[in-house]
Amino acid sequence: MYEEIRKPKLLKDIPSIIIRCLPVIYYYGKFARASVPQKVHDLFIGNAQYLAKGISQLGNTINHGAFLSLSSSAEKLVEFKGDNLIEHLEKITTELAQLATEHRDEIRKTVQKIRPVLNNLYQTSVIKLHTLVVDNNNEPEIASKLGKTLMNFCFYEVENTSSSARDYSSKHINTDFVIFASTKPAQIHEDVISLQTYHKPGLAIVHIEKDAPLDKQAVRHGSQLLKIGFPVLFKVFTPIRLFTTIDKTYMRFHLAN
């Protein structure tokens, strides 16, 4: 079910800051095996705990017991693994979606007031992945805008760099996830191969401007990367698409390989 997260009818009334924690939980259940890196496990625990806290915060604010009951159910997510975890998460998500729709107007008013509280709760509950945004096509404004979205709306720790930076290699070593801000340069293929040396997961971005001519070279390179199994995201780069794609890629890289 969670593969349908981007379908607006399913989660449209759930506050986006609550949706923020769902990808890690789902993909932990889908990919985790016997051996799990400590940081990945901690990331799962933090997101699961935040889901329970976030639902509880909503319930306390609008004074509705059903949210508090669902929060108690979410607290038990950390006790499940594999398919059982996914099944439990899907049940919670479905019930939360139904409650959010039933109390749509009240929740929207409430979230406007408590959004800073929910944002802070997420950032204090969940460890931050360090993402490295690489301006590999001399487009600093595009890379900077992407970095701000990742930091302010996806709550990653973000560092911007360029492929010509003197400390380019060391930045790769010290990051959790690499994002190439363009697929236009032919060099992108070598950049992607180099990630295997650093043993880092990554993502490439294809910018498609609404009122601009289609950049056929960028699209072609993006399609070629997809064929070899490297994640590529074509516009629109909404926060939910970004964090869903990044979290899925990160969890699969460390758990399914």
Last residue of a domain, one of 93, 125, 157: 125
Cα separation of 155 and 213, whole Å?
32
pLDDT tens, position by position, 29-75? 999 988 899 999 999 999 999 999 999 999 998 888 899 999 999 99
- Are 42 and 121 in the same domain? yes
120 and 135 belong to one structural domain: no
Give the tens place of pLDDT for each residue, 207-219: 877 766 778 999 9
**What local confidence, expressed as pLDDT, does residue 3 receive?**
53
pLDDT exceeds cutoff 60 at 227: yes
Same domain membership, residue 250 and residue 138: yes
Residues 97 and 152 in one domain: no
What total number of domains does the chain contain? 2
| Strand spans (E) along 81-176 | 130-135, 157-162
Number of C-beta neighbours around residue 72 at 10 A: 11
Q: Which of 217, 151, 218, 210 is nearest to 180 (CA)?
A: 218
Q: Are residues 65 and 138 in the same domain?
A: no
Alpha carbons 175 and 157: distance in angstroms, whole number: 10
pLDDT at 6: 47
Do both 140 and 91 map to the same domain?
no
Quick one: 147 and 225 in the same domain? yes
CATH number at residue 244: 3.40.50.2300
Same domain, 119 and 197: no
Domain boundary among 78, 101, 125: 125
Which domain range does residue 234 map to?
130-255
Whether 141 and 251 map to the same domain: the answer is yes
Condensed to tens digits (0 to 9), the pLDDT of residues 240-257 reads 999 999 999 999 999 986
Do 109 and 141 belong to one domain? no
pLDDT tens for 67-90 read: 999 999 999 999 999 999 999 999
Side-chain half-sphere exposure of 79, counting CA atoms within 13 A: 6
The pair of structure tokens assigned to 162 is: 């360029």
- Domain boundary residue, one of 60, 93, 125: 125
Q: Averaged over 149-168, what is the pLDDT?
A: 93
Residues 22 and 65 in one domain: yes
DSSP 8-state code for residue 236: P
What pLDDT was estimated at residue 164? 85
Looking at the structure, do residues 74 and 142 belong to the same domain, yes or no?
no
Computed over every residue of the chain, the mean pLDDT equals 91
